[in-house]
Amino acid sequence: DGGITQSPKYLFRKEGQNVTLSCEQNLNHDAMYWYRQDPGQGLRLIYYSQIVNDFQKGDIAEGYSVSREKKESFPLTVTSAQKNPTAFYLCASRPGQGNSGNTIYFGEGSWLTVV
């Protein structure tokens, strides 16, 4: 089945540790995104990438890093510099072309808890 796969679904991290969330899509979408959801704050954009080997900071990029070495993959690393990393993280992708070119589609999300 085509889709966006995030892993792991649940992740616990000790303070001071880096952790990487995986996002893979087999939809042949050009653009990929990482959003974070906190209660009462909707979805906030962390990073996005429109093509391979290129990415831009979103609204809350501090404490995060990404890479886009392959079209299908857009991993997010939550570093120890991120002050409040406990959240629900959502990966998304966008076709980039056609009538639905501006609609983004989401994965199932990953829960990160810092203990």
Given the rule CB under 8 A, which residues bind another protein?
4, 6, 31, 33, 35, 40-45, 48, 50, 58, 88, 90, 92, 94, 101-109, 111
Among 36, 113, 112, 22, CA closest to 72? 22
Residue 2: C-alpha distances to residues 6, 41, 76, 107 (Å): 13, 30, 21, 11
Closer to another protein by Cβ: residue 61 or 80:
61
The token pair at 56 is: 């831009």
Closest CB 9 distance from another protein, rounded Å = 8
Closer to another protein by Cβ: residue 84 or 103:
103
